Every structure is written in C-alpha cells, then in structure tokens.
Structure 1
Amino acid sequence: MTIIDDIESRSGRKTGEGKVIYRHRIVTRITHWSWAIALFFLLLSGLQIFNAHPQLYIGQQSGFAFDNSVLSMKAMRAADGTVGGYTTVFGHNFDTTGVFGMSGPADNPSYRGFPAWATLPSYQDLSTGRVIHFFFAWLFVAVFLIWLVSSLINGHIRRDILPSVADIKLLPRSIADHLRFRFHRDGRYNGLQKLAYAGILLVVFPLIIATGLTMSPGMNAAWPWLLDIFGGRQTARTIHFLCMALLVVFFLIHIVMVLAAGPLNEMRSIVTGWYRTDAGKKEDHTV
C-alpha cells in the first residue's frame, strides 16, 4: 500500500474496491507542471506590463484622437470630489476602488490598474516585468510544441482531447453530472472535459501565442500578415488579455473539479501517473 493509499483508507475511501491504472504518461505530467509554473509567472508579469498602460483597444492605433477603447482601469475624481479607482468597460464606469485603478492603504494609495499583490514585481517596473514575461513565454512555447508533437505521435489528441460523436451525444449527461458533482472515475475524459481541454490546448494556447507574437515589432517586420489576421496590434493585445482571463477562469474551475473529484487520487495521477478507478471499472486508459 502506498502512502496515499493509506491516507485514503484513513479518510474513509475504500481503496480496495477500485483498480489502479496508469493514467498519465510522463510527457503529460511534465508538460502539465511546466505549464503551471510558466503560466503563473506569465500572469503576474503580464499584469505588470498591462499596468504600464491599463487600457485596451480594438484596432491598429490608440490615443486621444481615437475612440476605440474597450476597457480601462484608472483613478478618477467623482462628483463629490473624492478620488477612486474606476474600471470602464465599453463606456460604462464601475467603482473598483481598492482593487482596480486605485488600491493600497487609504493614507498612501497606489494609482495603478492591478494591485501590487497581483503583479511581478509588486512595484511598478516595466523592464523587469518584460524580462520575466518573455523568458517564461518562450518556455511556454517550447513546452507547447513538445506536447503537440508528442501528442500527435502517440495519439493523445485524437484519443483523449478531441471529443467523439459518442461524447457529443452524452454531453448533456456529462454537464448534469458535473453540476451535481457526480464523477465516473474510470480513467477516461468525458465529453465535457474533452471540450474544455480541446478549447484550452488547441484554441486558447495557440491564440495567446499568436497574439503575443503579433505585439512584437520584430515579428511584425518578419511576419506582417499577423497584423492583418488580428486587425492590428491593439486588437491583438485585447485578445491576448481575454485569453489570459479565460485561462484564469479555467484554472479556478479546474481546481474546484479536482477537489470535488478526490484531490488525493487526482494529484497522484498527475504526479506519479497512477490513478484509482471506481469499483467495476476495468478499462485501462493512458493519457
């Protein structure tokens, strides 16, 4: 019995009922944790870069002569004369004092888009943020290419990421099961999981990489067609930001699902590769 098996037994889980299968290959586990580390630093350093100009636009250009802003976070003076943080979305102002636009102690507020605790470094330092961001961005790209090539070779994408016709037909049931936190631990991804992973791995990841390259002047010179695809550097920046927001939402839902499905078993599978199925589940499945 492993240490985790012993913990499961003491916590009331019946470890003798299910079958232990090898669920995750080593490439899956390494790329998973590499992405987790890279995305952590990319998020915090990306918010540091965003704070240098906490405003998003649609189009090629930005500035006072253009009315193409879709989001901004800044400090503004209210009608009563007080200054607060406001987030403007498509022309609608929301008071976000203490979080966005203005944060920190009342006697020494900080006027910035995202608060200090959400950026890396915590103080305003664009150059350091860019160095950190670019380093982990290239690490992220390298890991993605390794995952993509290996997954095409071993059939992981076809078998475990792209939903089949049967998965689509069972999608309503999968959604209902997840809403009721009812999980079928057979080592396989259901249709809802496949759609989520396919959306992140095959849509959001490539999109965040492509928009990141589009914001680079060097890439604009080498591949000017990137600007045409995304409708300008400012639009690419906005899409890049939205992709980041989607990844944050996915991460939060992912953590909730891991906790609900059995964190010890789920963590063991992504660390060691071994996963315990429910009683009666006999199909081995390697992801």
Structure 2
Amino acid sequence: MALEFPLWLRAAHYFNLLFLSVSLRSGLQILAAHPKLYWNDHCTPGSEWLRLTRKRLPAHAPWTSRDEEEAFSPWVALPGGRSLGLGRHWHFLGDLGWLLTGISYVVLLFATDAWRRLVPTSWHVLPAAWHAAAGYATLHLVEAPGGYNALQQLAYFGVVFLLSPLTIATGLAMSPAISARFPGYLRLFHGRQAARSVHFLCLCAFGLFVVVHVAMVVLHGLARDLALIVLGETDHPQGGLALAVGLLGLALVVAFHVVATRYSRRRPDLVHRRTGAVIDLARRPLMAVTPSRPAYTRADVSPYFRVNGRPPRDPGYQALAARGFADYTLEIGGRVERPLRLSLADLRGMPRETQISLHCCIQGWSAIAEWGGVPLRHLLELCRPLPEARFVLLEAFDDKSASEPDPAGPGRYYGTLELALARHPRTLLADEMNGAPLPLAHGAPLRVRVETQLGFTMVKYVRRIALVPDYRGIGQGRGGWREDWQFYDQQAPI
C-alpha cells in the first residue's frame, strides 16, 4: 500500500498541533491553581501522589486553598501567572477545536481508504510490532516501504482510538454537572480525582508521543517525511520547499501562542468575552440545568474539607458571629411580590432537606460533606418573583478588599444564579454541615449549595438575596465577584 497524505490529513496535522498545544499550555495553567494530584476524592493534605509545588503549608496556622496556588510562567502556561479563569477559557476553546478536528479526521479516515493506514487488520501486527521495537532498542531503524511499520501503526492507532477518547472521557468526569446527573459514570474512574490524575497522565502521554513522533521523522529521513506531511508528495519530494512550508506552519502556531498570551495578560476582559462567546455556543445547550442524583452516604464524608477564603472582617458580621447570629436577619427582596425578612429561627422552622454531595472546587480539589438547610425554591415560592425576574443575586458580608486583599478586585463578594438553577431540587440555603451548625470557615450563618456547579458559585456568608432582571448592571457586569475580577464564568457546570 502506497503511503499518501491527502490535503485534509495534512491540514489535520497542523490543526491538531495548534489545538493540542493550546490545551496543553492552558491545562498547565489550570493545574497551577492546585498543583497536586490524588487517587481519592477527599484530597486530604499529604495524600497526593504528585505535587508540582515546593510550598509547605503551616501546620499550626490557618491557611486556605488559595495559599496552595502557584503562578506558572507564561513561557509554559497560557496565559501564565494566577489566571485560572482565562486558563479555563483557553482550555475549553482548545478542546473544542481539537474535538472538531478529531471528528472531521475520523469521518474522512473512514470515508476513504486512509483508515487502512492506522487500523490493524491482522493479529500478525503484534509480533511485527515486537520485532520493530527490538530493532529500535538495538538502534536499528525499521522501514516499511510505502507505509508505517507495525509499531508505528499500533502507536498511531492507540493515540487516535484509545488515548484521545480516554482524554475526553476523563475530562467530562471532572464536570460537576455530569457527575451529579450520572454518578455511575464517575465511578467508572473511581472518583473525580482519579479521573483528574488520569487526565494529567493523558497529557503527558500526548507530550511523549509528539517528542517520539518528531524524533522518528528526523531519524527516518527528515526531507522525505517532511515532504509527505507538508506537500503530500511521494515520488519527487522537494525537501527545501517542504522545509520552508513546514517552518511557516510552525511559525504561525508559535505566533498564535504569542498573541494569545500577550492579549490575555494585557486585555483579559476582551479575551474573556471573545472566548466565552464561542464556548457558550457549545456549553449552554449541553449543560444549562441538569438533574442531580444522590450518590453518597455518611460513610463517604471526607475527614478533611479545605477552606477556601477567610471569614469576613466586617465589624457588623463579627458582632453577629460573636452572638451566635442570634440577631441575624436575611432579607429577600428585589423584583418580588412579597419581600421577606427571616431570622435563623424562621429558616430552621421551614421545610428542610439534607444532602451528601461532592464539592468540586474550581481550583481542582474536592471533598464530600453533608449539608442541611432550606431549599432555595421554597423561599422563592414564598416571595413570589415577578415575571421580569430572571436571576437570583446573592450578596455576602465578605468585603474582599479586607478578607482577601488582591489588587485585581475590591468590593463585597456576590454571585448570581439563573432562576431555573436556583429552583433546582438540590439547591439549598445551607446552615448545617455534617450535622452541626455551619462553621465560620465554611460560610456561617448561611451559604448556598448548587450541586451541579463548581464551588465558587456557592456564595458563603450570605447577607441578602434579591431577584433581578439582569446582572449586567451589577459590579463589572459579569455575574459575580470572581467573574468580575478573576474572569470566571457566571455558570460553571464543567
């Protein structure tokens, strides 16, 4: 069989290189937010199997999960620094491009005879691959005139039909929306953190494949193989032209990374808006509001639950906390027929629910806990939202300029939920954690639980709730404090 490289296959090489490199660099940016990997969903400190940080957290002083975050260099990560929000945007954009390229590749592969290049049709490929491996081990090249040798064929087959699907499957397993709706799917990987670890190993496997693939091209004849990959020529390869075209393609990929990195660091608002517009086209139809099924018991509760953020330093809040929140009043207003003022005693006298769930932090760590409180939909039924109300605004006592000094953003913490998500059966206004009153470190007196979303959407230290028609006139207009200043997404189901 003569080895031919049609135009679509040659184009796929460059698109794969572009999107895979974007996914790899942005994946490292995401990993920097919690540079530790586990095989258990409790993420107990010290139980990680891999740590990519030299930080040692104090044993006898309070710390939060943000203290574990690293700032990777923009030479390595996209966009570098502590830019988890934009890193996620670039990762999803790279994944989307890579997925569409892969689907097109596989369709065209089986629409032509090109599939014979990758798919073994006989078990004889196994001993032949062993023979080729032995040849490489003894520093002898194994040629297969007109095609790939058996070892190359198995390697390419594995990357396309095994490694790539596994990468996609483990990526989806880290989505709180998918794991809440299909808990059995998460069990296939023995939990979210095991899926995260395998996902990282898949990234390493892709990196190793690229290095070995390039080495094989060089060793087997750079001029000939480059002419095949770039020009598709088999009879009269033009090494000089192929090298020029190949270098031009690589230069364009590098230029894209340079521009993407610089714009992300100089105009994060613009990049957030533009990339988000593309991502939302695919994300919203698939993961707008999904059902959630209980999947854990009290035996699954984590022995350790990380703290993310520090309690408010607001004097009014501290005075309430000193009195056990006996004087606390929750106001619910805005676009409602019946504004409410409720004490903790009022809330504890309402219909209550408990649920045991996996908390998925956007940084990467997770933990399991039992939460108790009033379903938010019950409070919405009492206050009766007006027809124009589309979002629930959750305001916190937490003034970030005091509790989490950060030059990226001042002001009180807040978040917004679409009304349908606020009415979700498992969306709680929780005042209990693991059968006890909600601790200060985890959001007392009240915090929201939205089990199909990432943790930052679950506002803690709730001060006030309001029904609003839109969030674009609030703060910087992105739907929440971390959305405004750290460029997270208003919805975070994955």
TM-score (norm 2): 0.42
1:36 has 2:17 as partner? yes
Q: Which amino acid aligns with 1:39?
A: L
Which protein has the bigger helix share? 1
Distance 1:174 1:211 in 2: 31
Structure 2: runs of 5 or more not aligned: 57-68, 238-494
Matched-pair contact (CA < 8 Å) for 1:185–1:277 = no
> For residues 207 and 171 of structure 1, do their structure 2 counterparts lie closer, same or farther at Cα, with a shift above 3 Å needed?
same
Quote the offset at 1:204 in angstroms: 0.8
**1:233 Cα offset (Å):** 1.1
Q: Larger Cα Rg: Structure 1 or Structure 2?
A: 2
Corresponding position of 2:468: none
Give SS of 2:42's match: coil
The residue that corresponds to 1:224 in the other structure is 183
Secondary structure in 1 matching 2:50: strand
2:71/2:82 contact within 8 Å kept = no
Contact 1:181-1:261 at 8 Å conserved across structures: no
- The answer to whether 1:117 aligns with 2:96 is no
Question: Given that residues 163 and 194 in structure 1 are in contact (C-alpha distance below 8 angstroms), is that contact kept between their aligned partners in structure 2?
Answer: no
Distance 1:23 1:254, change over 3 A: same
C-alpha distance in 2 between matches for 1:113 and 1:58: 24
- The one-letter code sitting in structure 2 at the alignment partner of 1:69 is E
Change beyond 3 A, Cα 1:268–1:185:
farther
Cα deviation, 1:66-107, whole Å, max 9, x if unaligned, reads x64211122247xxxxxxxxxxxxxxxxxxxxxxxxxxxxxx
Once the two structures are TM-superposed, the CA of residue 222 in structure 1 deviates from its matched residue by 4.4
In the TM superposition, what are the counterparts of 1:1-287 in structure 2 within 5 Å? Answer: 23-64=4-45, 68-76=47-55, 112=70, 114-162=72-120, 164-179=122-137, 180-184=139-143, 186-276=145-235
Which amino acid letter does the alignment assign opposite residue 93 of structure 2? F
C-alpha distance in 1 between matches for 2:54 and 2:136: 41
2:427 is matched with none
Q: Aligned-pair distance for 1:229?
A: 1.2
- Any stretches of 5+ residues in structure 1 without a counterpart? 1-20, 78-110, 279-287
**Is the contact made by 1:38 and 1:136 (CA closer than 8 Å) also made in structure 2?**
yes
Q: How far apart are the structure 2 equivalents of 1:166 and 1:140?
A: 32
Moved more, 216-225 or 132-141: 216-225
Identity %: 31
Query: Does structure 1 conserve the Cα–Cα contact (< 8 Å) formed by 2:23 and 2:95?
Result: yes
Aligned partner of residue 230 in structure 1, secondary structure: coil
| Equivalent-residue separation in structure 1 for 2:131 and 2:32 (angstroms) | 43
| Offset at residue 277 of structure 1 (A) | 9.1
CA-CA distance at 1:171 after TM superposition:
2.4
So what's the TM-score if we normalise by structure 1?
0.70
How far the C-alpha of 1:52 sits from its partner, in A, is 0.2
Compare relative contact order (CA 8 Å, sep 6+) and give the higher one, 1 or 2: 1
Aligned partners of 1:215 and 1:237 also within 8 Å: yes
Q: How many residues align?
A: 223
**What is the CA-CA distance between 1:117 and the residue it aligns to?**
2.3
